[in-house]
Amino acid sequence: MKTLKIAIQKSGRLNEKSVELLKNCGLNFENYKSSLISPVSNFPLEILFLRDDDIPEYVQDGIADLGIVGENVIEETEVEVSYLQRLGFGKCSLKIAIPNNSDIQSLAGLNGKAIATTYPVILKKFLDSKKIDSDIRTISGSVEISPGLGLSDAICDLVSTGGTLKSNGLKAFADVMSSEAVLIGRKGSENDDLIKELIQRIQSVLRAKE
């Protein structure tokens, strides 16, 4: 019998909820922080623990059959995968934010301005759709300190409580996308019997939570 592989985040904001969801589906597995792969003893499934950024490509390329990852990561990596199920956790929004004392007043005011982000692909599409031409500065983290350092006029970053923006003297200015954790698979994988069985279990866990 074939064994499916599901990729989930190894550590970070989605790890705990992903593990909890799979356990609530009745799947038995060890969750050692040191292991990268964990077999499920009562379902033909192996769990791969990965950096979230790698999950969409692993699924697209067939290294994993399924993945749990934020929609923001999928959109940014521009992969071809099927969205199988929204999971209701990891909710956040990708927003453009500006310093509290900024003189930018409208989206058009972002023309010619520097925007720091770790999401250049999504930001570019958004700005193009609004016919705005900004200088997108791709950085790998700590985006929120970049205006204070004089490195950018605005940022584009994920926001959940808004606390990070506030404590850095920034205010939300425009919504780019909203995101939550989703179950993804390869195109067409929704027709696979084992995958169907797993989706049904996930859906009943989600229904029980409503």
Binding site for ligand PRT (CB under 6 A): 9, 12-14, 51-53, 70, 72-73, 90, 92, 157-164, 179
Q: From the list Zn ion, ligand PRT, none, which binds 145 (C-beta under 5 to 8 Å, kind-based)?
A: none
Question: Whose Cβ is closer to Zn ion: residue 30's or residue 61's?
Answer: 61
Two structure tokens written together for 141: 């983290």
In angstroms, how far is the first alpha carbon of the chain from the final one? 34
118 and 138 in contact (C-beta within 8 Å)?
A: yes
Q: Does the protein bind Zn ion through residue 76 (CB under 5 A)? A: no
* Residue 75 falls in which region: left (phi positive, over 0), alpha (psi -120 to 50) or beta: alpha
Taking the complex as a whole, the smallest distance from the CB of residue 41 to ligand PRT amounts, in Å, to 26
Look at residues 39, 79, 37 and name the one whose alpha carbon lies nearest to residue 61: 79
Q: Does the protein bind Zn ion through residue 52 (CB under 5 A)? A: yes
Name residue, tokens 């940014």. Answer: 76
Q: From the list ligand PRT, Zn ion, none, which binds 107 (C-beta under 5 to 8 Å, kind-based)?
A: none
Residues 142, 96, 163, 184: is their CA dihedral positive or negative?
negative
Where do the DSSP E strands lie in the chain?
4-9, 37-39, 45-50, 66-70, 82-86, 92-99, 114-117, 135-138, 154-159, 170-179, 181-185
70 and 9 in contact (C-beta within 8 Å)?
A: no
Q: From the list Zn ion, ligand PRT, none, which binds 160 (C-beta under 5 to 8 Å, kind-based)?
A: ligand PRT
From candidates 16, 53, 78, 128, binder to Zn ion by CB under 5 A: 53
Q: From the list Zn ion, ligand PRT, none, which binds 23 (C-beta under 5 to 8 Å, kind-based)?
A: none
Q: Which stretch binds Zn ion (CB under 5 A): 26-34, 46-54, 64-72, 89-97?
A: 46-54
Q: From the list Zn ion, ligand PRT, none, which binds 158 (C-beta under 5 to 8 Å, kind-based)?
A: ligand PRT
> Which helix (H) or strand (E) segment is 205 a member of?
helix 193-209
Q: From the list ligand PRT, Zn ion, none, which binds 164 (C-beta under 5 to 8 Å, kind-based)?
A: ligand PRT
Question: Whose Cβ is closer to Zn ion: residue 52's or residue 157's?
Answer: 52
Taking the complex as a whole, the smallest distance from the CB of residue 193 to ligand PRT amounts, in Å, to 30
Taking the complex as a whole, the smallest distance from the CB of residue 53 to Zn ion amounts, in Å, to 4
Two structure tokens written together for 183: 């179950």
Q: Does the protein bind Zn ion through residue 30 (CB under 5 A)? A: no
- Chain residues binding Zn ion by CB under 5 A are 52-53
